[in-house]
Structure 1
């Protein structure tokens, strides 16, 4: 009788020890023999296949003392191992007429238990993919984030790729749970469904020992990139050596991140010390810049751990800073730096502009774009693209083909409604090459505007996302809808042939 209860993982090794018990004096009797057993590794509930000779004589199949159902196909017998049969050696017995039997021994051991060793990121938004690495990650039965099941994109023994599902509470610490037919396990550290406000928190981007979107404030030579096994958490990590004396003497700072003053944030990262270095048992801290806030000290060991700091923002924008220098010659490995708006505080008001990240627009020529104008014309060609983006999946790419006689002859605009006397914050991101000058303004459709940002050549960083962020106060006698516009003037000498990506325009009331 085939027993089927809870699946316990089992590993089966076949021992080539066949025996024949009982003989028949009838010379016409055909001898039954087992030639092979497969597969080499068999788990509870898996199919076992016997190949041999004269299997048409077989009446019954037993596994130890339990009769099992089987299928016969010529000289191939197949049966299922029980899911609750435990582990250890088992005897497979073929029973023929007149008490004639043939046996073989097999060994059953536990199915490998899944282990997650690393996660590509500890924060991702709905629809984004997350990669888990470890062992025994195949034979997946389910993956959940919090209480919501995630879809599996691909699965091998060492790598599992999932898609973040809808319905998980945003900016709340969650757990990634993976269930296979060998058991269940959770991913290291808290996971957040939401936007990581730190760019390149996994240190994957950068050339040599540089890290895109990060600045080495102090001890630059002490901070390098590592991809070495046993050092890197995922593909590429930060290796930092303590200068000694003061925490700030080895110091890495992120690009400024938009924060809401008075709102609670959680900053976390994965870190371990090099075994045998002073860092094993050493300590580090977090801080912010400007108007520095400081965390307490965190004790570091030679095992990967996630450390978290909860703070209330006091500046916008602000950098997050890793202060790693207090212990001389301490060696640390760091990855997955994550900043999430997790807590209480007054949420920011909604943007007064629409489609600031072009997510509502189709890819292609940038004509008739909702909320925008002037993106495509005689002097500059514009297209909605997914080649580059700062927020979401899309941006607008503009190529400057020629310039006119006025700066506004190339001028993307976005209309919005403001209230006279109110103060607003403008934030917009650019990336490009060959742009020597441009001007940003909020106005009533003319020039000059109420608030302008003149960008000299040295302020524009080629091939790096650059934010323009400032406050302005509306000055208008027009109370109609659409009484203001955001405008970028780019018809300047030196811009011909330049390419610029525009994304993530957000204009909000300052509370």
Structure 2
């Protein structure tokens, strides 16, 4: 009788011989339980990885600063923003902005912080890169301003930015030293009037891509068609691009009562006809049949004043607004009309009631499509 080892060897030999004759006899278990008479197949080589595709940069318009376009707020306040110094010279404007509502700041010149505005608080990562931007213009060339921060771990200061008389975007790259901070606009160094809009902060080193006026999908604010609507330009009691038609002795410049900027128009009326005291703008280009909106900010020294808008054209067919009652607080008065000529002047009719009026920020804009 064969011993156990010999029986096992004999069985293996018969099985291998059978595999040589017919591969089917090997089955799936041949390579598992027994030594295979065949070479293992060469594995298919893994493909060599190619270069990583260049990542598409993420959009930069990821602003983290609340109310960065100054649209929220009432009167001359801006929700979340704080007027740290010279608060009475920092006001809201709705003409000559990037879109909608902007900020105006008047500086007499001095220390950078003598006119100063602070943003709402925003969260940051200490040591990470951030970029602050804003759109700004000055009433004089070569004015200077800077960014700074207010934070628990101390202020940081940007360099001086030279500001001209056209809208420009200024940029500051910084690394926060606190995990929550505020952006500060230091506007006091130069004697000038600044217009400011679209103050933004984005992570990284690339500035916010916005333009001024806005061109993203037609969101641009209406353009003021009147030159010198804020009465800032002119000498003495004269106003560039404005003509005093009647009551010249009662019309003067004032710096004591302004809605924005450093200069406004003051008119003293004795009472009588609306046109007894009358101030007219330069001609503006208008399209016949198009609807326009004229507006002005006005207040009186005492309650009960009355003023109105009218139009003046080359065809000598005027349009008249009804008399508007004026109180002792700054009030915006608006007049909507369809143009009947290709050139239109806006007329301020101030003579109806005996009063002293203060007028500022006069604008003429095309009515937006509804």
TM-score, normalised on structure 2?
0.48
Which one has the bigger strand percentage? 1
Higher relative contact order (CA 8 A, sep 6+): 2
Tell me which protein shows more helix as a share of its residues: 2
